Structure 1
Amino acid sequence: MLDRRQALLSAMGAGLAAAASAQTPPPGHGTGRSRHPDPTETIDLWPDMPPQTARPLPVERAVERSTADGVGDREVRGIARPRLVVFRPARPNGCAALVSPGGGYRYIVIDKEGYEMARWLSARGWTVFVLFYRLPGEGWTDRANVPLSDAQRAMRLIRARADAYGQRRDRIAAIGFSAGGHLCADLATRFAIPVYQPVDAADRLSARPDIAAPIYAVQSMALPVAHAGSRTALLGPDATPAIERAHTPAVNLTAATPPLFLAHAEDDGAVPVENSLALRAAARAAGVPVETQLFEEGGHGFGLRAAAGKPAALWPELFARWAAGRGFAA
């Protein structure tokens, strides 16, 4: 006799997968210079209007910043339909990743910190979901919790659809870069904080990632360690110390936080390495396993491509080996 919870999750996943047709296309679809074709499969996060509704709604627009053929570097703003862009592997290994690109909470980097990481993981068997979350300064109410609402909802939808994608519900990673790294760490530390009203059965599931990898992450919201641009974009210009603390992952880290993988360059001139060091110290104090990779050289925003030829280029392999040690397939 089937376990009732497993039956509920299977039915939920089937229903959600059936509803996945006619979803919003990927941001900036077909506008980039990358030699790789854009993905086409997406999952809208919300069945109707998302919470913390903005009036008027922002208008989505993507800009290609690269001038080199074969190398894409798009940014997108105005996301009114937050969604996941899906990368399916040829042979699923049972692992999934929610990838949150950066952009200082003012825009989202599509290629460098989204699709490139997704392709790297997908080639190794991971099913990858790139998150295009709402940007807090574009008129949404409760601005500081808007990105987290989208991240929590994304994690629950990935878990609900696990059967449809050939993945395990207890093998879902969160990976984020820069401001997307803040969102990753925020999700890892505040996954159980209610920031929106449940909308369907998927919201009964946990939003906790099984592991989390904030990469050269914005973490502190208190100056001078904070990245000033991300802090203002997320919290607004008049944030109080109490609001800063509420949105600083190191302050919110508990024993329930999943194991962490941190990577940062010590010559990062945009987001000081002290952001990752404080998160590491908090994890150690709480007894949360944490792997920390610090590189002498790499600057900020190295992703995969900008790390080429430097020791920092090793970070994806180091992450994959660390994740394998925690039960994620090699």
Structure 2
Amino acid sequence: MRPASLAALPLFALLLMTHPLPAAPAAPIPLWPGEVPGEKGSIGEEKDTSGPKSNQVQGKSVIRLGNVSKPTLTVYRPAKDKDTGASVIVCPGGGYSILAYDLEGSEVCEWLNSIGVTGVLLKYRVPKRTGLEKHTAALQDAQRAVGVVRARAGEWGLDPKRIGILGFSAGGHLAAAACNNHDKRTYEPVDEADKQSCRPDFAVLIYPAYLTVKEQGDKVAPELPVTTNTPPTFLAMTQDDGVRVESALFYYLALKNAKVPAELHLYPTGGHGYGLRPSQHAVTTWPQRAAEWMRTRGLLTADK
């Protein structure tokens, strides 16, 4: 029997041969090897809190994950022929109450794969723990995540000097907190991963929340002590966002004054909580702008 010619192959098969698909995400990895710091008892079953009447985004439902007490990392790898060696830890938003797990998580990792970047989806602890600041438990998880990715960079084929962090809304605040609190971990080290630097190499903040304190003249929040060692940062926001756009402006100014390389994109409309689902608003182009920023900074150049 003669082998089939290329002309006889289905179009989909030809496309797979010329444009390999990203690998399916690996199974979630427990973030902590044993007990999670500070966790005491059950907070209830982890579940999707969305219901039939929950708001949709661009006609699609959103997974709103609640009661997260066992943080995980899920690694999304790009196709081998596109892999740049860069990686980004993705922090979904949700007001430190839930995680918009697909809208601001898995869908974002898939976009990162399309530009040759490994997406690492961080499922961090929510809701905020009683008696602690809103971000305390989540920041422990974010610091740990950066250390784990850096410790396993060789195993995963990643560049340990191109590990970024990307966050939306509360996840944007968490990403900023990780960028400005890397000198000392907020938990007792547990293994070799905690001997690695937990400083992200760059950050992408999309409609970030909680960056400033309105009652204090939009002073940058005390948990975000911007310094010259804060990583290069890309920000995007809209003027009609329910989170005051001034917060992004003042945070950008803090970065500028500290001589941190930063890029800020402001759009007139689009609101809040759109992820990267396409819309009629100009802000829907933020992924292209972010990719351009990463490219101009040399973050998307494959290792040789």
Distance in 2 (alpha carbons) for counterparts of 1:283 and 1:67:
34
* 1:158-195 C-alpha deviation (Å, 9 max, x unpaired): 11111222110001111000000000100011122320
Distance in 1 (alpha carbons) for counterparts of 2:184 and 2:206:
23
SS in 2 for 1:115: helix
Contact 1:96 1:172 in 2 (8 A): yes
**C-alpha displacement at 1:53, in angstroms?**
1.7
Computing the radius of gyration from Cα coordinates, the structure with the larger value is 2
* 1:223-269 C-alpha deviation (Å, 9 max, x unpaired): 45999xxxxxxxxxxxxx9xx9432x2xx00000010101000111x
Contact 2:138 2:174 in 1 (8 A): yes
Contact 2:96 2:134 in 1 (8 A): no
| Aligned partner (choices 254, 259, 266) of residue 239 of structure 2 | 266
| Aligned partner (choices 61, 72, 81) of residue 70 of structure 2 | 81
SS in 2 for 1:217: coil
| Aligned partner (choices 199, 214, 235) of residue 205 of structure 2 | 214
Determine the structure 1 residue equivalent to 2:280: 309
- Residues 324 and 225 (structure 1), Cα distance of their counterparts in 2 relative to 1, 3 Å cut: farther
Q: Does 1:100 align with 2:76?
A: no
Distance in 1 (alpha carbons) for counterparts of 2:24 and 2:101:
10
Distance in 1 (alpha carbons) for counterparts of 2:215 and 2:133:
24
Contact 2:96 2:135 in 1 (8 A): no
Determine the structure 2 residue equivalent to 1:183: 174
Q: Does 1:298 align with 2:270?
A: yes
Which amino acid is the alignment partner of residue 83 of structure 1? Answer: T
Instruction: Identify the structure with the greater helix proportion.
Output: 1
| Aligned partner (choices 42, 45, 48) of residue 59 of structure 1 | 45
Distance in 2 (alpha carbons) for counterparts of 1:136 and 1:158:
24
* 1:67-121 C-alpha deviation (Å, 9 max, x unpaired): 79x9441101111110112211112210100000000111000111111111111
Contact 2:172 2:207 in 1 (8 A): yes
Q: Does 1:148 align with 2:139?
A: yes
- 5+ residue gaps, structure 2, are 1-22
Q: Does 1:90 align with 2:79?
A: yes
- Residues 180 and 143 (structure 1), Cα distance of their counterparts in 2 relative to 1, 3 Å cut: closer
SS in 2 for 1:47: coil
**C-alpha displacement at 1:326, in angstroms?**
1.3
Give RMSD over aligned pairs: 2.6
SS in 2 for 1:164: helix
Distance in 2 (alpha carbons) for counterparts of 1:278 and 1:138:
28
SS in 1 for 2:90: strand
TM-score for the superposition, normalised by structure 2:
0.83
- Residues 309 and 245 (structure 1), Cα distance of their counterparts in 2 relative to 1, 3 Å cut: closer
- Structure 1 residues 319-330: aligned runs within 5 Å: 319-329=290-300
**C-alpha displacement at 1:212, in angstroms?**
0.5
- Residues 225 and 77 (structure 1), Cα distance of their counterparts in 2 relative to 1, 3 Å cut: farther
**C-alpha displacement at 1:214, in angstroms?**
1.2
Q: Does 1:112 align with 2:112?
A: no
Contact 2:169 2:209 in 1 (8 A): yes
Distance in 2 (alpha carbons) for counterparts of 1:208 and 1:164:
20
| Aligned partner (choices 124, 128, 146) of residue 119 of structure 2 | 128
Which amino acid is the alignment partner of residue 197 of structure 2? Answer: S
- Residues 195 and 123 (structure 1), Cα distance of their counterparts in 2 relative to 1, 3 Å cut: same
Contact 1:188 1:257 in 2 (8 A): yes
| Greater than 2 Å deviation, 4+ residue runs | 37-40, 54-59, 63-68, 136-144, 219-227, 244-247
- 5+ residue gaps, structure 1, are 1-36, 228-240
Contact 1:136 1:146 in 2 (8 A): no
SS in 2 for 1:98: strand
SS in 2 for 1:246: coil
SS in 1 for 2:291: helix
Which amino acid is the alignment partner of residue 319 of structure 1? Answer: A
* 1:187-231 C-alpha deviation (Å, 9 max, x unpaired): 01112232000000110101111110111101335245999xxxx
Distance in 1 (alpha carbons) for counterparts of 2:216 and 2:267:
19
| Aligned partner (choices 226, 229, 238) of residue 253 of structure 1 | 226
Determine the structure 1 residue equivalent to 2:155: 164
TM-score for the superposition, normalised by structure 1:
0.77
Which amino acid is the alignment partner of residue 204 of structure 1? Answer: K
